[in-house]
Chains A and B, each alone.
Chain A
Amino acid sequence: MAQEAGMFTVPKTIGSVLCCKCGILMQPNAANMCAKCLLSEVDITEGLQKHVVIIHCPECESYLQPPRTWIKTQLESKELLTFCIKRLKNLNKVHLVHAEFIWTEPHSKRIKVKLRVQKEVLNGAVLEQAYTVEYVVQDQMCESCTRVQANPDQWVAAVQLRQHVSHRRTFFYLEQLIIKHDEARNAIRIKQMDQGIDFFFVNRSHAGKFVDFVGEVAPIRKRNDKQLVSHDQKSNNYNYKYTFSVEICPICREDLICLPPKVAASQGNLGPLVICTKVTNSLALLDPFTLRHCFLNAEQYWRVPFKALLSSRQLVEYIVLDIETVSSEVVVGGSKYVVADAQIARVSDFGKNDIIFNVRTHLGHLLNPGDYALGYDLYGANSNDIELDRYKGLVVPEVILIKKSYEEKRQRKRNKPRSWKLKSLNMEIDNSTRGRDNEEKMDSEYEQFKRDLEENPELRFNISLYRNKEYQPSEMASDIDGDDFPSIRIEELLADLELSDEEMEDGSTRE
């Protein structure tokens, strides 16, 4: 500091003094004793533990941190070093500078750690000393390993997901969501059942967390039960098996619904015929003629549950002959709709007879003459619905169009592989109840699901799509077609890394 001020300072060389104990020449320090004499005088490691016992589970390679936690680490790893140091008491009296392992034979059941500590002694001199701590490793199985050993595949909690509809679209979608959020990591078994999936967990809280997750992405009704498995009279510990029964609402996207009078009235006399446009943890219903919409959440639905009148299995293909817009573009719940009058004919009738329908539709923004559309044929349908009968004097339209169809264009590209692929969960399939027909039905449903994904960007929002390595983009380029059916841009796909244990999604920044 004096030098900065420009003052002249005399250079100071420190002289040497004799150590007051052994008399060797040394630099003066706070204690005026050489390091050796100081060490012999004061032992700063006095009172510190030199022998510790740690407990290790040989099955899962984990070490016990009392009272209950088991920490899984490898030998000579950083986590093990931290764990060993944590097990030493009184280490807060000295200042830890350095710690490392000393090699011991792996089967010797001994771990040696060399620690260097610093402490202030005498009159301000800070002394640094190294010492070794020896850990004796005792083997003891941890509770989870004992349980597994006693009865493997023993589950403690089960979640039974069911949806009483004839298709599995919802479960395909849920499967992708579960993979994306990695919610099934705690499940020890996943089993595919008729009209649902069963998940088995080791911990009730894992099952509860899973049920909460499903509740956030689908409208559900749940109940849970428990069954006593064993009872320890001395310690009053009860072991139960917990079951969660989760029922997903049977209404899916693109379903045609006739609302019960009570529900229609509570939503402001929404026209009894509505289309379900979106299903998350609430249902979005749209009246296609007035473009009014409403949301029903799970509680509201289950108070007065209703079924779909017609579902997407019963969609019929129509060709649009003429279209005339009636209203301007309206944005309803994030999507655009335009009310239009359309002249349509069934594809099966087209060219054979002259049956033409004049209908009002909400797809005015999408359809042009000559386009194909899918819709529900109420003219020819024989519905057995109680709700419909309740409405006296209701004029039921002949056709309600739901979506535009790309079937023609798809036919051209039928055998081309897609540029993207999906992952799937590791499910057990109960083979006894399945026949050959079911498998074909499943495959075609899965194909339909993939087409839905291509056509609906909002459906893709929550799902991860991976790049398909087998796909050759050069084949695409040779096909010069105009704007055809919607497909997924390459930027939306995530690269699938070839790691065996973990899947790393590095594409999250791309989306």
Chain B
Amino acid sequence: MATRLQFENNCEVGVFSKLTNAYCLVAIGGSESFYSTFEAELADVIPVVKTSIGGTRIIGRLCAGNKNGLLLPHTTTDQELQHLRNSLPDSVVVQRIEERLSALGNCIVCNDHVALTHPDLDRETEEMIADILGVEVFRQTVAGNILVGSYCAFSNRGGLVHPHTSIEDLDELSTLLQVPLVAGSVNRGSEVIGAGLTVNDWTAFCGSDTTATELSVIESVFKLREAQPSALVDEMRKSLIDTYV
């Protein structure tokens, strides 16, 4: 189910939040409405944590993570690191990495199995990603843009990319990521998908400027319509049974 919201009158919610299957990080805002929207959706299922990274509120663009781990830039302070380690479940490995490109949210986009990274990322960082997040790493560009984290967003069920992506690129990315991909826009024609949208396997949050058409595209590609946490299990059960003799 996709929700429309705003952070302090700004529609770029993907900048101020990070949503994964195991946890959700939210920036500290003047009013509590941003946090309470997330709470309302996710409170029972996963922890919603208020934090800052390096003293800034643009946490969505600075960190990258999935249900296995969370990577933080070198600008993260020790207190923030400790706070996150305390608030997140133990299965999630929280690690600060030394990387020249410190906006990890713009450089890395991942789901629980595959990650796409900025082509200029360090080799050590790539190994760290593979190690901590437990994913297969691919260096790629999206529609000719090297900031893959800004121009695409994907979960385990589907993905949305920059609207100018050609069909060949779409096929290639889809093969790599093993999920269905669609080219589209968010926030009334904005091409910066990663900043306007944050998504996990059963829910998505996007800016309030998003039109109904865009919302329907998001809901269909990420398969959010019928998605409830319990429905995931039913689906898996169906696929586990091979044949009825």
Contact = CB atoms under 8 A, between A and B. Distances in A.
Interface of A: 10-15, 17-23, 28, 31-33, 122-123
Nearest to A26: B163
A18 B184 contact: yes
Interface stretch (B13-21, B41-49, B95-103, B212-220): B212-220
Contacts of A17: 163, 183-185
Given A32-B185, A32-B189, A33-B189, A13 B213 contact: no
Contacts of A122: 189
Give 8 nearest A-B pairs by CB, closest first.
A32-B189, A23-B213, A28-B163, A12-B166, A32-B185, A15-B167, A17-B163, A20-B189
5 contacts: A10-B168, A12-B168, A18-B184, A23-B212, A23-B213
B164 A14 contact: yes
B188 interface: yes
Contacts of B217: 18
Interface string B209-230: 0011110110000000000000
A15 B163 CA distance: 8
Contacts, number: 52
Contacts of A13: 166-168
A23 B184 CA distance: 11
B165 interface: yes
A10 B167 CA distance: 11
A10 B164 CA distance: 16
A28 to B, nearest CB: 4
Nearest to A28: B163
A123 B191 CA distance: 10
Contacts of B189: 20, 31-33, 122-123
Contacts of A12: 166, 168-169
B176 to A, nearest CB: 15
B179 interface: no
- The CB with the most chain B CB atoms within 10 A, among A10, A18, A32, is that of A32
Given A15-B183, A28-B183, A32-B191, A21 B163 contact: no
Nearest to B163: A28
Nearest to B144: A12
B170 interface: yes
Given A17-B185, A18-B217, A23-B216, A28 B164 contact: yes
A14 B185 contact: no
B42 to A, nearest CB: 27
Given A14-B167, A18-B214, A31-B189, 13 more contacts: A15-B166, A15-B183, A17-B183, A18-B184, A18-B217, A19-B213, A20-B185, A20-B189, A22-B213, A23-B213, A32-B163, A33-B189, A123-B190
Contacts of B212: 23
A158 B184 CA distance: 81
Contacts of A32: 163, 185, 189-191
Nearest to A19: B213
Contacts of B211: 20-21
A19 B214 CA distance: 8
A22 B183 CA distance: 16
A10 B188 CA distance: 31
B97 to A, nearest CB: 33
B170 A20 contact: no
Contacts of B188: 20-21
